[in-house]
Chain A
Amino acid sequence: MTRTTEAEIVKLEGISKRFPGVLANDRVDLTVQAGEIHAIVGENGAGKSTLMKILYGLYRPDAGAIYLRGQRQSIDSPGRAVALGIGMVHQHFMLIPAFTVTENVILGHEPSRAYLDLKRVGARVAELCQRYGFSLDPGARVATLSVGEQQRVEILKVLYRGADVLILDEPTAVLVPQEVSELFANLRALKAAGKTIIFISHKLDEVLEIADRVSVLRQGRMVGTVEAARTDKRSLAEMMVGRPVLFNLAKPNVTPGEVLLEVDGLTVPGRGARPVVNGVSFKVRAGEVYGIAGVEGNGQAELIEAIMGLRAASRGAVRLQGQPVTGLPPGELRRRGLAFIPEDRHKRGLVLPMTIWENLILGFQREPGFSRPSGLHLNAIMSHSDQLRRRFDIRLSRLENPVLALSGGNQQKVILARELSHDPRVIIASQPSRGLDIGATEFVHQQILEAKGARKAVLLVSADLEEVMSLSDRIGVIYNGEIVAELAGDQATPQELGLYMTGGKGKAGEGVPA
């Protein structure tokens, strides 16, 4: 039992939370002072969201205690958290676009049981807006609002329910700089009114601008808490990202050949005013691995979807072996020698209820070798599948089993086997080792390097810095939908990359002072 004071409005002590396969929070201690703006930073998967969801009652901790205003509390549901004065603004808005601002704010917390006096309630909402300096029209339909305004509605919801502690989860992820300034002005007004704000982010310059104190989480552990005024981006990035590189694979020595994949000024519209991919350009040559490093949510997923023809781009072009392929459907791209290892293998990569051999030919079911006029050429398919099984060491009991029976690593091998076995010229691998153990990860990396050795062009997208650094010849850092830096693979350091990934520096070209 530690002593805690009223001034420490929120105190988390020894919080641990485990999910299948991962320890999300490992004995985390956190103290938030009343009336401060406290930022929690860390990479993806560092455990920030989990910690806050525990505070908000969405998860129960496996170990540890929560103290509010000096009193120990058990928060077992969001309802309880709200009753205790904690409010959470989620990263993905829980709004109803067809409803007005007022209707969204009061839903579930209506002032009466039956009749809804919208005028009276609207006045109350307007009064709240006035008090905290939000400029919102209570009668406006949320669908017509900008993303920044929608976020303000979410904050209003929380204030309407009487929150003293506001948790904001990656609030600036979807905002343009102008909207970020407006949000910060609102936050300062809230602070002046006595509210406490906990702010989750990975964008260090914004964090330093608004927060009083900053806590850094890394791989589920609390690294430390510092005062914003007494630290800088570099130190924070180092705390966030620094870790030893696990293994070093031998990279084949290949001189890059002709440009096989070219992305030119690609722009993809987003939800709000800001495009989610903004004028991205890069080239990938034969025998080269081009890695796109970045914290998830900075546009990588949309960029890959646009290249693959799964999402429409508003501007720009994609060229495959010199041929323009912008907007062509995925089938056509595959025919032209493009292989795709998707980041969500269950969603885009496999049909889980189907058998392993069926998944091994997904997309290739009409190839002349696999199908005849009378139907699928089972003998050819099965022997091909068997070959793939051996070549890629896929651990399975029978090819006729459904693919969902395989482990994550073996499922990924199925995808790799399928995509790599048709001799593609360009390979796009998006988060290829996500959710895989060390052994499977090593295998994936091996395959990528072999492809490089076979003079293919590999576009690697990964949130895992080690992966990007150990495999890439060149690294492009993506931040806010733009490539902000392009570095040579063997020269980049984790600190430098971490800095760019969190918005530290400017665009490509700015040097790094020693």
Chain B
Amino acid sequence: MDISELVASALRMSVPILLTALGAVYTERAGVVNIGLEGMMIAGTFWGAVGAYYYGPLAGVLLGMLAGMALALIHAVVSVTFKINQIVSGVALNILAAGLTRFLCIQFFSMATTSPEVHPFKAWSIPLLDRLSFLKPMVTGVSPLIIVALLLVPVTHFVLNRTVFGLRLRSVGENPLAADTLGVNVALMQYLGVLISGALAGLAGTYLAVEHTAMYIEGMTQGRGFIALAAMIFGNWAPVGAMWASFLFGLSEAVSFRVVATKIPYQFIKMIPYLVTLAVLAGIVRRATPPAADGIPYERGGE
């Protein structure tokens, strides 16, 4: 097993999880639980493929993010304005996204479960580093979206901790009552958090379809939207932590593809990412500190 190959593969596999986990950070820090990220990713896989098929990869990215945001808007309206239970809303959205996508796939491509091949972005190579043989697999043939994903980590950190928007967003997730009395628009912050998460989940889906497999395949997300939530929890609701957690999950996926010639049946290898998630949740959650008002619909009560 070539280590650098493995690492490169792990990096590639972690991107969809990383992007979605970053999105999850935005929404949960604003206090809204978004179980529907899987559905938003699904929307991103399909619409990314559609955009890329007709107009090229950039259009795919835009369309995929918009699709994710559209679903996110529904979630925001239902959860923030109507204060419906956020889990129920998310689960319903996942079901809706799956059905809608299948239907549209037939409409667009006359096939139910896949799209025709699409063209990904031109791959990049980092000029100097690709001379080093052990770095080569990691820095050649790199999709620009991987760079974008990695850059989003410090960007998210900056936005959350060093901007007025980030301060207000976080305050809403911690103590919406206090934020409200101080003049912060709680609903607006929650809407924005949810919409950003939808956009990033859509982008993650687009990456999967356009860059990773160069086509849309039904069910290709494989639960990554939920794994991303676990990554966020493991990363303690912070962008850098979510990044390392996503690498871990990406690694487990990369390993599961490579371990072929062992005595362990391949079905068990396939289970690795999910088992790791469970282990993480079981072991880690004790110490993790979610935003104090996460998942609780805020209602301005009192006289």
Contact = CB atoms under 8 A, between A and B. Distances in A.
A and B found bound together: yes
Interface of A: 19, 58-59, 78-79, 94-99, 103, 106-110, 112-116, 118
Interface stretch (B146-154, B168-176, B265-273): B168-176
Contacts of B164: 110, 112-116
Interface stretch (B17-25, B179-187, B252-260): B179-187
Contacts of B303: 19, 58-59
Given A59-B303, A108-B182, A96 B163 contact: no
Contact of A94 (B163, B178, B292): B178
Q: Is the interface of A mostly helix, strand, loop or mixed?
A: loop
Contacts of A98: 170, 174, 289, 291-292
Size class of the B contact interface (CB-based, 8 Å): 20 to 34
Interface of B: 162-168, 170-171, 174-175, 177-179, 181-184, 289, 291-292, 303
Q: Which 7 A-B pairs have the closest CB atoms?
A: A108-B182, A94-B178, A108-B183, A96-B174, A110-B164, A96-B175, A107-B182
Contacts of B182: 94, 107-109
A114 B292 contact: no
A95 B179 CA distance: 9
Q: Is the interface of B mostly helix, strand, loop or mixed?
A: helix
B162 A96 contact: no
B248 to A, nearest CB: 25
Contact of B184 (A19, A58, A107): A107
B30 to A, nearest CB: 13
15 contacts: A19-B303, A78-B181, A94-B175, A94-B177, A96-B170, A96-B171, A96-B175, A98-B291, A99-B171, A106-B167, A108-B168, A109-B182, A112-B164, A114-B165, A115-B163
A106 B171 CA distance: 11
A116 B171 contact: no
B186 to A, nearest CB: 11
Contacts of A116: 162-164, 166-167
Contacts of A114: 163-165
Nearest to B166: A116
A112 B163 CA distance: 9
B174 to A, nearest CB: 5
Contacts of B181: 78, 94
B162 A95 contact: no
B8 to A, nearest CB: 36
B160 to A, nearest CB: 11
A115 B162 contact: yes
B253 to A, nearest CB: 33
Contacts of A108: 168, 179, 182-184
Nearest to B303: A59
A79 B171 contact: no
Contacts of B163: 114-116
B159 to A, nearest CB: 10
B287 to A, nearest CB: 15
A271 to B, nearest CB: 15
Nearest to A161: B182
A160 B171 CA distance: 18
A142 to B, nearest CB: 10
A109 B175 contact: no
A95 B163 CA distance: 19
A92 B287 CA distance: 27
Contacts of A103: 167
B162 A118 contact: yes
Contacts of B175: 94-96
B167 A110 contact: yes
